[in-house]
Amino acid sequence: MIYVIIGLLIVAGSFLLFNKMVWKNHSDKPQSPETGQVKRTKVQVNKYNEIRSMAFTVTPDKLKLTLRKDKTLVYGTIMDLDLDGVTATVVSFQTGDASLYLSSGQMFIGGFAHETVRKSATDLVSNSQAYLTKAEKTSSTALSDKGCVKFYFLTNHGTFVHQETIANITKPENDWNKLFDKGQNVISEYRLITGDRLREE
């Protein structure tokens, strides 16, 4: 599955061709499907750490979700992927909201307006439930180590984490391989809806 990593490096590389950006009017609320567009604006300061930290503060109440209290349920998945010094962070919620942040400064939100992004986001979160028992509860939100992929599961009973090396997780027999593929799908869908416009910059 080396081609998978090469594809991700190409995605990250294409984003790095542009000035540092964050999205205008960022909020935790779903973007209106009526717009059908992902918008952005240039800024002088890289707010990656700040925006990424905000993702961990999203609660079921903010998403207008009602979850059973007698069971630990995943409502959000955050995947950090180290790409040779640049971290790609995929944030997905049960509602279909999804964002892609790069530590270099590019941030992409608004994918909720696109069915393909919503589906890939909900697919990642729903599949995360099966991996919850393999993760450990944590109070840390540290980035993934070099050459690693780190999953954070946001649940109604706290945050859980698990990390794998890219070398291991890309092996088909690895237990986390399928979930990694789900996370990559979110990146791929964002690339499809933004790629043409990005090349025009």
pLDDT tens digit sequence for 5-30 = 544 544 444 443 333 222 323 333 43
Identify any residues that bridge with 78 across adjacent strands, giving them in sequence order: 91, 152
Tell me the chain's radius of gyration from C-alpha atoms: 16
pTM of the model: 0.80
Report residue 148's pLDDT band, with 50, 70 and 90 as the boundaries.
very high
Please state, in angstroms and rounded to a whole number, the distance separating the CA atoms of residues 190 and 114: 9
Beta-carbon count within 10 A of 14 CB: 15
Domain ranges within the chain, ordered by starting residue: 2-27+35-199
Please state, in angstroms and rounded to a whole number, the distance separating the CA atoms of residues 196 and 190: 11
DSSP H helix total and E strand total for the chain:
5, 9
CA-wise closest residue to 96 among 79, 111, 78, 80:
111
pLDDT at 31 over 90: no
Q: Report pLDDT digits (tens) over 34-84.
A: 345 554 534 468 999 999 999 999 999 999 999 999 999 999 999 999 998
> Is the distance from CB of 106 to CB of 16 less than 8 angstroms?
yes
Identify the pLDDT of residue 107. Answer: 87
Report residue 131's pLDDT band, with 50, 70 and 90 as the boundaries.
very high
Mapping DSSP to helix (H, G, I), strand (E, B) and coil, where does residue 39 land? coil
The stretch 164-170 carries a mean pLDDT of 97
Q: φ, ψ for residue 185 (rounded to 5)?
A: -60, -35
